[in-house]
């Protein structure tokens, strides 16, 4: 999240062991133009995260005043509804998973804007409690977070222009995919402009995407060039 907007991105790889992997989109958008945009990114157990999203969609379709995301007055209230849905699914499934020593493990990043409020960005833990991004920590990650974090730490601040932040997020995913097979293309990306209250910029990057490939190559070349120009150690 920067002053100009929000960037949300997710990979599409899921796996139940290295011999069983598949592609599923982990990004879900709830949008009513001019009123609100809520973007959910999921990580963890796919059956769990899909069930949460289905429950949230059904509650929106039913238009229940208390539980539907389009009725929430603030981002905080909307995030509580996502957490409630997570806990409902956990209540239904967790004990059954536990019988096979599987932990119920679904978590979300939720970013967006409700009319009348500034943009807000949250990270919901598997337990349903959550934290909100602030000036000191302008971004969240979920899932495999370590490989891609150093570059985000070095580049992202509240002042980073959206175009630079977009490149940074894509390079972060590139680094992660090189090191962890459980993260893979396609990458879904949304760049939300502050106060637009609609999703104008959305892109999917598939294997071999020309822009993504050139970004990755030029980043690699640029980094090696920076190394050559760094001061040498005098022993």
Span from 15-23, 45-53, 121-129, 221-229 in contact with its own copies (CB under 8 A): 221-229
My answer on whether omega of the bond before 186 falls inside 30° of 0, hence cis, is: yes
Instruction: Please tell me the distance from the alpha carbon of residue 25 to that of residue 16, in angstroms, as a whole number.
Output: 16
Is residue 34 at the binding interface for its own copies, with CB under 8 A as the rule? Answer: no
Q: How many CB atoms lie within 10 A of CB 109?
A: 25
Among 167, 193, 194, 199, which residue interacts with its own copies (rule: CB under 8 A)?
167
Span from 25-33, 46-54, 106-114, 165-173 in contact with its own copies (CB under 8 A): 165-173
Give me the least distance between CB of 191 and its own copies, in Å please. Answer: 8
Is residue 87 at the binding interface for its own copies, with CB under 8 A as the rule? Answer: no
Is residue 185 at the binding interface for its own copies, with CB under 8 A as the rule? Answer: no
Give me the least distance between CB of 73 and its own copies, in Å please. Answer: 32
Give me the least distance between CB of 208 and its own copies, in Å please. Answer: 16
Q: How many CB atoms lie within 10 A of CB 26?
A: 25
Among 143, 175, 188, 197, which residue interacts with its own copies (rule: CB under 8 A)?
175
What does the per-residue mask of binding to its own copies show for 125-164, with x meaning CB under 8 A? ---------------------xxxxxx-xxx-------xx
Phi, psi of 100 (to 5 degrees): -110, 25
Instruction: Please tell me the distance from the alpha carbon of residue 141 to that of residue 123, in angstroms, as a whole number.
Output: 8
Give me the least distance between CB of 171 and its own copies, in Å please. Answer: 8
Residue 216, token pair as written in the block:
């990755």
Among 64, 179, 181, 206, which residue interacts with its own copies (rule: CB under 8 A)?
179
Give me the least distance between CB of 227 and its own copies, in Å please. Answer: 5
Q: Which helix (H) or strand (E) holds 173?
A: helix 162-179
What does the DSSP assignment read for 111-180?
A: EEEETTS--EEEEE-TTS-EEE--SS------SS-STTHHHHHHH--TT--HHHHHHHHHHHHHHHHHH-
Give how far Cα 138 sits from Cα of 24, 123, 148, 192, 229, Å.
27, 12, 15, 15, 30
Phi, psi of 154 (to 5 degrees): -75, -30
Kindly identify the residues of this chain, within the stretch 188-207, that bind its own copies according to CB under 8 A.
191, 201, 203
Give me the least distance between CB of 179 and its own copies, in Å please. Answer: 6
Instruction: Please tell me the distance from the alpha carbon of residue 66 to that of residue 4, in angstroms, as a whole number.
Output: 32
Give me the least distance between CB of 210 and its own copies, in Å please. Answer: 10
Binding footprint of its own copies on the chain (CB under 8 A): 146-151, 153-155, 163-164, 166-168, 170-171, 175-176, 178-179, 191, 201, 203, 211, 214-215, 218-220, 222-235
């Amino acid at each position: 999240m920067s002053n100009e907007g929000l960037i949300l991105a997710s990979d599409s790889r899921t796996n139940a062991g290295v011999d069983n992997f598949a592609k599923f989109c982990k990004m879900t958008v709830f949008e009513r133009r001019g009123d609100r945009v809520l973007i959910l990114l999921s990580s963890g157990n796919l059956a769990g995260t899909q069930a949460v999203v289905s429950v949230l969609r059904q509650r929106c379709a039913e238009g229940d005043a208390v539980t539907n995301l389009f009725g929430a007055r603030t981002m905080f209230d909307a995030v509580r509804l996502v957490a409630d849905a997570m806990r409902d699914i956990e209540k239904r499934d967790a004990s059954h998973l536990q019988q096979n020593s599987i932990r119920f493990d679904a978590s979300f990043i939720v970013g967006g804007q409700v009319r009348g409020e500034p943009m807000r960005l949250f990270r919901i833990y598997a337990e349903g409690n959550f934290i909100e991004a602030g000036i000191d920590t302008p971004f969240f990650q979920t899932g495999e977070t370590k490989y891609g974090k150093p570059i985000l730490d070095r580049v992202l601040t509240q002042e980073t222009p959206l175009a630079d932040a977009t490149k940074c997020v894509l390079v972060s995913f590139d680094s992660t995919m090189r090191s962890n097979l459980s993260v893979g293309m396609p990458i879904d990306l949304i760049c939300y402009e502050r106060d637009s209250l609609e999703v104008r910029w959305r892109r999917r990057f598939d294997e071999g995407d020309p822009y993504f490939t050139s970004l990755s190559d030029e980043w690699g070349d640029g980094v090696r060039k920076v190394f050559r120009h760094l001061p040498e150690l005098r022993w």
